């Protein structure tokens, strides 16, 4: 009996990623059949194993063992209650997800034998990739299951094994209460305990959402939301799969998705960045030039030295039109025009030169840096306006959105796609993500999917 329980515990744990605390032989037999675990019993299998294999839910598998519920330990009852939510079983192969190397690390604990096999396949795929064996990611996926995606991440397209169920998506709680995929749970054991929220809000235009408390931390708690007002039935289930894939993207630190609201906020932020850095650019440039033409100190207004300095600044501007923002760039300016331009800024310029004692070279460098940030922000919003005039269009072109749509679209189509189908993304799929990463890196403008601007990382469907 002890050996039987030990093997049942192992089978259960391999199936759902959690220890099966206690139980009785026939119950475990039924559950092994239900989860598709090996038959350790008689050959042919016992009636409990066979009934469990044909059962739609875990509670039916237990009932098939013909044992009273009182015979089950409290831990087993709790586990079954979590697993046996109302819902329907999905045909094998129709719920697919991308998994990655962090998921593989989890597999080492939840299914050691499967981990060893997958690890070997991944290493073979990486070796083949380095030697240039494959002409496409699809060839790698077809041979080894794993493929190198356009963003450089290694992924595997994992189908369910016929035990996936969808429950009542109208009930908020835990994701494990409304969606159960034992195979996927082995890769990401936190999926069943991830928060799930159901809303029915016609005023909210989105169908689903994924958010996490801290986008920089891959293990930060997340929450999946679906909106009954804009998606029902199988379509809503597809939305849930889309958001679960976003959850995995966060766990793997893959290229993220986004939302139309993110891009609306980003456009406004870029316009603000352009204006914010433009004035400091002029001030620093003026301060540096004044320090250079006067030997380090700003003369008093109205003096001969002042007039000479203004003429020299006018000459600098005439030789480099646009050197000072808001000055004419076509007609030449003279000392009087420069005087009128500099006078209202004199206090700030004096502070930079006379009080702080910064050199003209340092001030000029600061001016160039500020101008670069202003120009980059301007180019940023111009790029968005020209390439992605619609916020909705922009977010749909994020790499994370392309990839999160794959489980969703294949689920709605009811097909198990080929490697050439699920590895395929548009050639320009990373352009927008690279643009956002560049903005974040060089100008401090956060990516459209997260940061202090938006509070939490949101992925909208």
176-200 pLDDT tens trace: 889 988 889 999 999 999 999 999 9
- What pLDDT, on the 0 to 100 scale, is given for residue 417? 86
In which band, very low, low, confident or very high, does the pLDDT at 41 lie, cut at 50, 70 and 90?
low
- 310 & 235 share domain: no
Indicate whether 279 pLDDT > 60.
yes
Give a yes or no: residue 387 inside a domain. no
- 248 & 176 share domain: yes
In which band, very low, low, confident or very high, does the pLDDT at 449 lie, cut at 50, 70 and 90?
very low
Give a yes or no: residue 388 inside a domain. no
Considering 58, 84, 110, which residue would you say is the last residue of a domain?
84
* Residue numbers of the domain that contains 99: 91-258+398-461
Give a yes or no: residue 48 inside a domain. yes
In which band, very low, low, confident or very high, does the pLDDT at 113 lie, cut at 50, 70 and 90?
very high
- 326 & 461 share domain: no
DSSP assignment of 411-443 equals HHHT----HHHHS---TTTTHHHHHHHHHHHHT
Q: Which residues contact 317 (CB under 8 A, 6 or more apart)?
A: 323, 324, 327, 333, 338
Own/partner pairs for 57-64, CB < 8 Å, 24+ apart? 57/83, 57/84, 57/87, 57/89, 57/165, 58/31, 58/34, 58/83, 58/84, 59/84, 60/84, 61/30, 61/31, 61/33, 61/34, 62/27, 62/30, 62/31, 64/30
Give a yes or no: residue 327 inside a domain. yes
How many CA atoms within 13 Å lie on the side-chain side of 283? 16
Beta bridge partners of 210: 224, 459
Give a yes or no: residue 390 inside a domain. no
Instruction: Give me 97's structure tokens.
Output: 């997800």
Total domains in the fold of the chain: 3
Q: How far apart are CA 224 and CA 395, in angstroms?
A: 18
- 205 & 300 share domain: no
In which band, very low, low, confident or very high, does the pLDDT at 216 lie, cut at 50, 70 and 90?
low
Give a yes or no: residue 386 inside a domain. no
Q: How far apart are CA 138 and CA 255, in angstroms?
A: 20
- Compute CA 120 distance to the chain's CA centroid, rounded to the nearest angstrom: 27
Q: Could you give the C-alpha distances from 227 to 45, 204, 240, in angstroms and in order?
A: 44, 8, 10
Considering 349, 380, 411, which residue would you say is the last residue of a domain?
380
290-318 pLDDT tens trace: 888 887 777 888 899 999 999 999 999 99
- What pLDDT, on the 0 to 100 scale, is given for residue 350? 72
- Mean pLDDT of the 260-286 span: 77
Indicate whether 108 pLDDT > 80.
yes
- 172 & 152 share domain: yes
315-328 pLDDT tens trace: 999 988 878 877 87
- What pLDDT, on the 0 to 100 scale, is given for residue 308? 92
- 214 & 118 share domain: yes
Q: Which residues contact 318 (CB under 8 A, 6 or more apart)?
A: 332, 333
**Which helix (DSSP H) or strand (DSSP E) does residue 89 occupy?**
strand 88-89
């Amino acid at each position: 009996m002890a050996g039987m329980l030990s093997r049942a515990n192992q089978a259960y744990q391999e199936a759902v990623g959690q220890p099966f605390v206690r139980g009785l032989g026939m119950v475990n037999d039924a559950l092994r059949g239900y989860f598709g675990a090996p038959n350790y019993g008689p050959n042919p299998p016992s009636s409990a194993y066979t009934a469990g294999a044909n059962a739609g839910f875990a509670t039916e598998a237990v009932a098939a063992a013909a044992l009273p519920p009182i015979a089950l330990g409290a831990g087993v009852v709790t586990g079954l209650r979590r697993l046996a939510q109302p819902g329907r079983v999905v045909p094998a192969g129709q719920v697919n997800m991308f998994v990655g190397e962090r998921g593989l690390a989890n597999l080492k604990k939840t299914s050691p034998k499967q981990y060893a096999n997958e690890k070997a396949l991944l290493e073979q795929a990486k070796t083949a990739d380095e030697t240039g064996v494959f002409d496409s990611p699809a060839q790698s996926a077809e041979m080894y299951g794993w493929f190198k995606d356009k963003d450089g991440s290694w992924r595997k397209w994992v189908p369910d094994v016929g035990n996936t169920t969808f429950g009542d998506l109208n009930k908020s709680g835990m994701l494990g209460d409304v969606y159960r995929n034992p195979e996927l749970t082995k890769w990401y054991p936190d999926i069943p305990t991830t928060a799930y929220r159901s809303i029915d809000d016609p005023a909210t235009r989105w169908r689903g959402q994924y958010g996490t408390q801290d986008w920089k931390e891959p293990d930060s708690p997340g929450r999946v939301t679906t909106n009954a007002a804009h998606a029902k039935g199988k379509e809503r289930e597809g939305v849930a799969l889309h958001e679960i894939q976003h959850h995995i993207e966060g766990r793997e630190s893959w290229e993220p998705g986004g939302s139309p609201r993110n891009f609306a906020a980003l456009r406004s932020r870029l316009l603000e960045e352009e204006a914010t850095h433009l004035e400091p650019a002029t001030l620093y440039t003026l301060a540096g030039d004044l320090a250079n033409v006067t030997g380090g100190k700003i003369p008093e207004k109205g003096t001969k030295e002042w007039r000479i300095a203004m003429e020299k600044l006018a000459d600098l501007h005439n030789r480099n039109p646009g050197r000072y923002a808001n000055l004419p760039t076509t007609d030449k300016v003279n000392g009087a025009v420069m005087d009128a331009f500099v006078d209202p800024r004199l206090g700030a310029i004096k502070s930079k030169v006379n009080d702080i004692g910064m050199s003209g070279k340092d001030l000029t460098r600061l001016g160039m840096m500020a101008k670069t940030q202003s120009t980059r922000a301007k180019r940023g919003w111009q790029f968005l306006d020209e390439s992605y005039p619609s916020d909705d269009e922009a977010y749909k072109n994020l790499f994370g959105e392309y990839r999160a749509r794959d489980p969703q679209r294949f689920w709605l189509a009811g097909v198990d796609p080929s490697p050439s189908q699920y590895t395929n993304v548009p050639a320009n799929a990373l352009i927008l993500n690279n643009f956002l990463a560049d903005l974040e890196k060089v100008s401090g403008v956060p990516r459209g999917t997260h940061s202090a601007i938006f509070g939490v990382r949101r992925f909208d469907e």
